[in-house]
């Protein structure tokens, strides 16, 4: 022991008696004479972590260290983003290990010394590799997973129950549920002030904060001027109530901290019965649609749709879960509908029936107070816009953001000169029911706080014909917030393109990377993880600028997705999968032969006569930066191995 450690040297040690019942683990020093062990630090022991008094006789002493100081040959990091420790440490003295559980390309495969020379992990890095060249000549929308805005808010409690003690009435007689309220229910209260300065009050406003207070009110006869004050005597305006229901609102910045008086009668005489309902207090600069409260105030938040600057990549997130989706790559599209967000009382949006469009009624998905409230006094009242179809034999897709205010069914139509693709969208069970011609596809996608983006894709239209976009309120009990209408030429919806007085085009995303320093011209393996959407053609996960080669792509058709590698001829997988699912694709090649595997299925091999030797630029999510073969989806990961992995490994890494 002494010869192995050396005099005056520190060592981890373990001492145990012959029975093993008395033991000690610590850090000690071999004495200068090499005959004693000076136990400097006890890490643990059978004596509760203190020095152990061993009985006389021979003890077992050896150099060891405790488990919490051990370096194990295991993966490090947090699943599923682990990497092998031997890779993390530069392989040091460890042998590569095959992990058959994680099926993650960051783990080593059965080839012990093959590691990816290119790792583009957009989900976990949440950034774009500095070697990637990215371009898009317009702005574009996406979700960043963190930005939100206050949506529905009412800081008052018991907004319709004014006899509740929370309202602290002064010289006032109140009767709840006295008359019919603006919503048709008998929930409005009568209030009679019996002396000057009679009032109700609630909620402590904070000095310097901007608020908007609103209240539905009318008087039994004549007119009456009421004031809005706080308990410290600061005035925030007046409103004049008449003999019909009206909603009054005032925006102010609090001059002091104290309770708010949303209605006070400062007249000395002539008191009349007043009817009130729907008190609301919001911390914003204007009133939004009324939200009833009882015991709890309301403050809801909505994920905010972001706008990426020109030439800025979009690392997109789920608006509802806040989880990263990856790098968003889309083709160029044009929103053919103008005033896409201003749907209320706009001459370009034709109103029919008894529809009522209330502008600035709610917070839209972009965080602005631009959502219109759509109500109706009869069934199937509507707004519509029509455009002349600009291109022949192209499918068209219509989308809109909608949120239920009351009821669950909203109808959207997409009509051409021959067919009407009309659907009832049920926001309760998220189903779309056809009312006439059957569309190519429909969708309902949640974007948070009760908002959904609904879509209809119609078959090919004829150039020069008129196409109509409709939104309907189906019954008088249904009412909806609407915003962000879009009509685009294409067989699937893309990200929202805002318009005002003219149509707007979002240009294509383009991303590429030079092969210098990491690419093997003789052989290699590509791995990619994407959200596979049923788009058109063969969307590239990895493409090139050389003869439209695509060493990693997926083909769409027949409502299924297949993996494909292409260089003039193609090798296509047989393990088809459904759209809107995660695709894990791996392809390997040596010279002019290639193999590909999709989601752990059978590996398909074939000839690639042109090969991939003369590749200098790799395009990401597109075919040479063009629009025809853009992936129109999100890319989670792309990895490249400078060696052709075996068929077993292709299957393993795509499970």
Give 82's pLDDT tier (boundaries 50, 70, 90).
low
Give 377's pLDDT tier (boundaries 50, 70, 90).
confident
Higher per-residue confidence, 376 vs 103: 376
Q: What tokens were used for 361?
A: 């009624």
pLDDT of residue 607: 93
Three-state secondary structure of 304-321: CCEEECCCCCEEEECCCC
Q: What tokens were used for 519?
A: 């690419």
In angstroms, the Cα distances linking 76 to 71, 111, 221, 323 are: 11, 20, 77, 22
Higher per-residue confidence, 125 vs 390: 125
**What's the mean pLDDT in 49-72?**
80
**What's the mean pLDDT in 357-381?**
93
**What's the mean pLDDT in 629-639?**
93
Give 88's pLDDT tier (boundaries 50, 70, 90).
very low
Give 113's pLDDT tier (boundaries 50, 70, 90).
low
| Nearest residue to 445 via CA among 435, 436, 454, 433 | 454
Distance (Å, rounded) from C-alpha 527 to C-alpha 542? 9
Distance (Å, rounded) from C-alpha 126 to C-alpha 151? 27
Q: What tokens were used for 412?
A: 């959207």
**What's the mean pLDDT in 263-277?**
92
| CB 637 within 8 Å of CB 122 | yes
pLDDT above 90 for 133? yes
Instruction: Encode 40-76: b = buried (16+ Cβ within 10 Å), e = exposed.
Output: eebbbbbeeeeebeeeeeebeeeeeeeeeeeeeeebe
Element (H, E) at 132: strand 132-135
Instruction: For residue range 305-328, list pLDDT tens digits in order.
Output: 999 999 999 999 999 999 999 999
pLDDT above 90 for 174? yes
DSSP state of 418: S
In angstroms, the Cα distances linking 375 to 86, 182, 358, 380, 564 are: 64, 13, 8, 10, 49
Give 69's pLDDT tier (boundaries 50, 70, 90).
low
User: Mean pLDDT score of the chain, rounded to an integer?
Assistant: 89
pLDDT of residue 75: 53
Distance (Å, rounded) from C-alpha 496 to C-alpha 142? 8
Give 288's pLDDT tier (boundaries 50, 70, 90).
very high
**What's the mean pLDDT in 119-123?**
94
pLDDT above 60 for 92? no
| CB 25 within 8 Å of CB 64 | yes
DSSP state of 614: T
**What's the mean pLDDT in 230-259?**
96
pLDDT of residue 101: 36
Tell me phi and psi for residue 652, to 5 degrees. Answer: -60, -45
pLDDT of residue 464: 72
DSSP state of 349: S
Element (H, E) at 653: helix 647-653
Cα 10–15–20 angle (5° rounding)?
160
pLDDT above 90 for 421? yes
| Nearest residue to 140 via CA among 505, 538, 579, 564 | 505
Higher per-residue confidence, 631 vs 67: 631
Instruction: For residue range 327-338, list pLDDT tens digits in order.
Output: 999 999 999 999
CA R_g for the chain: 35
Give 393's pLDDT tier (boundaries 50, 70, 90).
confident
| CB 496 within 8 Å of CB 487 | no
pLDDT of residue 335: 97
**What's the mean pLDDT in 128-151?**
95
Instruction: For residue range 176-186, list pLDDT tens digits in order.
Output: 999 999 989 99
pLDDT above 50 for 357? yes
Q: What tokens were used for 485?
A: 């209408």
Q: What tokens were used for 64?
A: 């060891």
Distance (Å, rounded) from C-alpha 440 to C-alpha 149? 35
Distance (Å, rounded) from C-alpha 179 to C-alpha 94? 81
pLDDT of residue 282: 97
pLDDT above 70 for 105? no
pLDDT of residue 466: 83
**What's the mean pLDDT in 264-292?**
93
* In the chain, % of residues over pLDDT 90: 68
pLDDT of residue 84: 52
**616 strand-pairing partners:** none
| CB 178 within 8 Å of CB 275 | yes
Cα 409–410–416 angle (5° rounding)?
135
pLDDT above 60 for 542? yes
**What's the mean pLDDT in 299-305?**
96
List CB contacts of 300: < 8 A, sequence separation 6 or more: 150, 151, 152, 153, 449
Given the structure tokens 């925006």, which residue do they identify?
A: 251
Distance (Å, rounded) from C-alpha 540 to C-alpha 629? 6
**What's the mean pLDDT in 227-246?**
96
Q: What tokens were used for 313?
A: 């990549």
In angstroms, the Cα distances linking 473 to 67, 405, 448, 457 are: 68, 11, 22, 21
pLDDT above 80 for 94? no
**444 strand-pairing partners:** 454
**29 strand-pairing partners:** 10, 38
Residue 302, classed as helix, strand or coil, is: strand
Rounded (10°) CA dihedral 524, 529, 534, 536: -30
Higher per-residue confidence, 536 vs 411: 411
Distance (Å, rounded) from C-alpha 570 to C-alpha 567? 7
Cis peptide before 80 (omega within 30 of 0): yes
Element (H, E) at 511: strand 510-514
């Amino acid at each position: 022991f002494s010869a192995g450690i050396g005099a005056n040297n520190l060592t981890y040690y373990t001492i145990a008696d012959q029975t093993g019942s008395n033991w000690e683990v610590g850090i000690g020093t071999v004495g200068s004479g090499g005959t004693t062990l000076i136990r400097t630090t006890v890490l643990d022991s059978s004596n509760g972590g203190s020095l152990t008094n061993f009985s006389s006789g021979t003890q077992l002493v050896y150099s060891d260290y405790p488990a919490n100081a051990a370096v194990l040959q295991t993966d490090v990091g947090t699943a599923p983003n682990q990497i092998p420790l031997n890779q993390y440490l530069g392989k040091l003295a460890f042998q590569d290990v095959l992990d058959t559980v994680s099926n993650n390309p960051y783990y080593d495969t059965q080839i012990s010394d093959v590691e990816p020379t290119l790792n583009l992990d957009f989900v976990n890095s949440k950034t774009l590799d500095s070697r990637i060249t990215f371009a898009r000549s317009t702005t574009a929308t996406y979700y960043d997973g963190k930005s939100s805005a206050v949506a529905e808010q009412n800081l008052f409690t018991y907004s319709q129950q004014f006899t509740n003690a929370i309202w602290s009435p002064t010289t006032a007689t109140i009767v709840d549920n006295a008359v019919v309220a603006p919503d048709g229910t008998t929930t409005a209260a009568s209030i009679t002030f019996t002396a000057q300065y009679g009032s109700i009050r609630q909620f402590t406003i904070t000095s310097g904060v901007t608020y908007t207070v609103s209240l539905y009110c009318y008087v039994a006869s004549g007119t009456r001027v009421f004031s809005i004050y706080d308990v410290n005597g600061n005035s925030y305006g007046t409103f004049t109530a008449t003999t019909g229901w009206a909603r009054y609102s005032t925006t102010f910045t609090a001059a002091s901290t104290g309770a708010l008086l949303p209605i006070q009668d400062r007249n000395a005489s002539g008191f009349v019965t007043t009817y009130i309902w729907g008190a609301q207090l919001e911390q914003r600069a204007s009133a939004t649609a009324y939200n009833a409260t009882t015991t709890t105030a309301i403050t809801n938040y909505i994920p905010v749709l972001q706008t990426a600057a020109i030439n800025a990549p979009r690392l997109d997130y789920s608006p509802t879960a806040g989880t990263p989706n990856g790098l968003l790559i889309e083709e160029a599209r044009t929103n053919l509908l103008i005033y896409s967000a201003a749907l209320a009382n706009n001459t370009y949006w034709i109103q029919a029936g008894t529809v009522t469009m209330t502008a600035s009624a709610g917070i839209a998905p972009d965080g602005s107070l631009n959502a219109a409230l759509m109500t109706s006094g009869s069934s199937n009242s509507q707004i519509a816009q029509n455009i002349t179809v600009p291109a022949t034999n192209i499918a068209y897709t219509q989308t809109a953001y909608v949120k239920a205010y009351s009821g669950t069914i909203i109808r959207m139509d997409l009509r051409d000169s021959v067919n009407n693709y009309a659907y009832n969208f049920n926001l309760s069970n998220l189903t779309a029911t056809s009312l006439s011609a059957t569309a190519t596809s429909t969708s309902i996608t949640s974007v948070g706080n009760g908002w959904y983006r609904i879509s209809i894709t119609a078959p090919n239209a004829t150039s020069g014909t008129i196409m109509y976009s409709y939104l309907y309120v189906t019954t008088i009990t249904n009412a909806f917030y609407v915003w962000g209408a879009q009509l685009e030429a294409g067989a699937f919806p893309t990200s929202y393109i805002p318009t005002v007085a003219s149509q707007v085009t979002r240009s294509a995303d383009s991303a590429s990377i030079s092969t210098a320093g990491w690419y093997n011209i003789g052989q290699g393996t590509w791995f990619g993880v994407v959200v596979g959407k049923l788009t058109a053609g063969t969307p590239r996960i990895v493409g090139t600028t050389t003869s439209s080669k695509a060493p990693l792509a997926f083909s769409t058709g027949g409502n299924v997705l297949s993996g494909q590698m292409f260089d003039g001829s193609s090798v296509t997988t047989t393990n088809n999968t459904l759209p809107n699912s995660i695709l894990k694709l791996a392809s390997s090649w040596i010279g002019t032969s290639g193999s590909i595997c999709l989601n752990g299925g059978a590996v398909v091999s074939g000839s690639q006569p042109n090969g991939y030797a003369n590749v200098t630029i790799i395009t990401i999510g597109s075919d040479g930066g063009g629009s025809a073969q853009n992936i129109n989806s999100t890319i989670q990961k792309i990895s490249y191995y400078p060696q052709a992995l075996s068929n077993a490994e292709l299957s393993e890494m795509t499970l």
